[in-house]
């Protein structure tokens, strides 16, 4: 049996298991920290087997997070630290009805989304049904595009929580 959502999301990567995630971080961390220092980039993100590891320069990262989210702890931005690592938490934003999808214009990979924001509509016989973000975060991956048929509960895109500031 292939469920509708399996067919529609044939490229969806699975959730990594905890131990796999641990091993992945152990292997990638030193390499990524070195590369961050070499390049002077604010942030590096690597995706393997459906799990994402992001390494970010603290001063830059927290400012970004603070801009998008609830205020970070006041001292955090001021206190520079070499880097922080988060095996980012991903939240799927799901279709609230069965029908045809329209993504809101501002939704693209890398976009910041506030909790409760209107991120898409599903058209049910001509009537739009709202899809709102259940979490705040950054759009990590799109799973459906405008015009796609979606079923109830189908993943539309993945949101990644933004470090310590994200709730």
Report if residue 130 touches other proteins, rule: CB under 8 A. no
Structure tokens at 74: 């006041």
Report if residue 7 touches other proteins, rule: CB under 8 A. yes
Residue with Cβ nearer other proteins (52 or 154): 154
DSSP assignment, residue 13?
A: P
Report if residue 145 touches other proteins, rule: CB under 8 A. no
Report if residue 134 touches other proteins, rule: CB under 8 A. no
Q: How far is the CB of 90 from other proteins (least distance, A)?
A: 21
Report if residue 20 touches other proteins, rule: CB under 8 A. no
Q: How far is the CB of 161 from other proteins (least distance, A)?
A: 25
Other Cβ atoms within 10 Å of 71 Cβ, number: 11
- The dihedrals phi and psi of 11, each to the nearest 5 degrees, come to -95, 10
Structure tokens at 49: 């087997």
Q: Is residue 137 within 8 Å of residue 116, measured between CB atoms?
A: no
Report if residue 139 touches other proteins, rule: CB under 8 A. no
Residue with Cβ nearer other proteins (144 or 161): 144
Q: How far is the CB of 147 from other proteins (least distance, A)?
A: 11
Please choose, from the candidates 65, 45, 69, 70, the residue with its C-alpha nearest in 3D space to the C-alpha of residue 141: 45
Structure tokens at 139: 């759009």
Report if residue 93 touches other proteins, rule: CB under 8 A. no
Measured distance CA(19)–CA(102) in Å, rounded: 37
Report if residue 10 touches other proteins, rule: CB under 8 A. no
Report if residue 128 touches other proteins, rule: CB under 8 A. no
Q: What is the DSSP string of 71-105?
A: PPPHHHHHS--S-EEEE--EEEEE-SSSEEEEE-T
Query: Total number of residues binding other proteins (CB under 8 A)?
Result: 20
Binding site for other proteins (CB under 8 A): 1-5, 7, 97-100, 123-125, 127, 149-154
């Amino acid at each position: 049996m292939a469920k509708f959502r399996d067919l529609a999301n044939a490229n969806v990567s699975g959730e990594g298991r905890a131990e796999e995630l641990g091993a992945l971080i152990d292997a990638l961390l030193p390499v990524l920290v070195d590369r961050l220092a070499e390049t002077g980039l604010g942030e590096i993100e690597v995706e393997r087997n459906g799990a994402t590891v992001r390494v970010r320069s603290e001063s830059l990262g927290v400012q970004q997070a603070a801009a998008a989210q609830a205020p970070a702890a006041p001292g955090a931005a001021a206190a520079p630290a070499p880097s922080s690592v988060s095996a980012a938490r991903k939240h799927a934003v799901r279709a609230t009805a069965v029908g045809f999808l329209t993504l809101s214009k501002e939704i693209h990979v890398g976009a910041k989304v506030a909790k409760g924001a209107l991120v898409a509509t599903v058209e049910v016989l001509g009537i739009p049904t709202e899809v709102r973000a259940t979490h705040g975060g950054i759009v990590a991956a799109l799973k459906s595009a405008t015009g796609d048929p979606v079923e109830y509960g189908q993943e539309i895109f993945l949101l990644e929580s933004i470090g310590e500031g994200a709730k």
